[in-house]
Amino acid sequence: MKKTANGSSLWSRISQQKLLLLMLVPGLLLTFIFKYMPMYGVLIAFKDYNPLQGILASPWVGFEEFRQFLSSPNFGMLLGNTLKLSVYGLLLGFFPPIILAIMLNQLMSDKVKKRLQLILYAPNFISVIVIVGMIFLFFSAEGPVNSILSFFGIKASFMTDPNYFRPLYIMSGIWQGMGWASTLYTATLVNVDTSLVEAAQLDGANIFQRIRHIDLPALKPIMVIQFILAAGNIMNVGYEKAFLMQTSLNLTASEIISTYVYKVGLVSGDYSYSTAVGLFNSIINMILLISVNKIVERMNDGQGL
Dist CA 82 CA 237 (whole Å): 7
From the CB of 161, what's the least distance to another protein, in Å? 18
From the CB of 35, what's the least distance to another protein, in Å? 4
Dist CA 94 CA 89 (whole Å): 8
Query: Which residue number, 1 or 24, has a Cβ lying nearer to another protein?
Result: 24
From the CB of 172, what's the least distance to another protein, in Å? 10
Dist CA 239 CA 258 (whole Å): 6
Q: Which stretch binds another protein (CB under 8 A): 24-32, 69-77, 80-88, 160-168?
A: 24-32
**Which 3 state secondary structure label does DSSP give 47?**
strand
Query: Which residue number, 187 or 299, has a Cβ lying nearer to another protein?
Result: 187
Contact between 256 and 162 (Cβ < 8 Å): no
Among 118, 141, 216, 287, binds another protein (CB under 8 A): 118
Residue window 153-172: x/- pattern of binding to another protein, with contact defined by CB under 8 A? --------------------
Residue window 186-225: x/- pattern of binding to another protein, with contact defined by CB under 8 A? xx------x--xx--xx---xxx-------------x---
Query: In 3D, which of 41, 71, 68 has the Cα closest to residue 56?
Result: 41
Residue window 46-85: x/- pattern of binding to another protein, with contact defined by CB under 8 A? -----x----------------------------------
Among 175, 218, 284, 297, binds another protein (CB under 8 A): 175
Query: In 3D, which of 101, 117, 106 has the Cα closest to residue 210?
Result: 106
179 binds another protein per the rule CB under 8 A: yes
From the CB of 302, what's the least distance to another protein, in Å? 21
107 binds another protein per the rule CB under 8 A: yes
Query: Which residue number, 72 or 282, has a Cβ lying nearer to another protein?
Result: 282
Residues 6+ apart with CB under 8 A from 139: 145, 146, 158, 159, 164, 168
Helices (H), 232-268: 239-245, 251-254, 257-262
Contact between 163 and 82 (Cβ < 8 Å): no
30 binds another protein per the rule CB under 8 A: yes
What own/partner pairs with CB < 8 Å and gap ≥ 24 does 264-269 have?
none
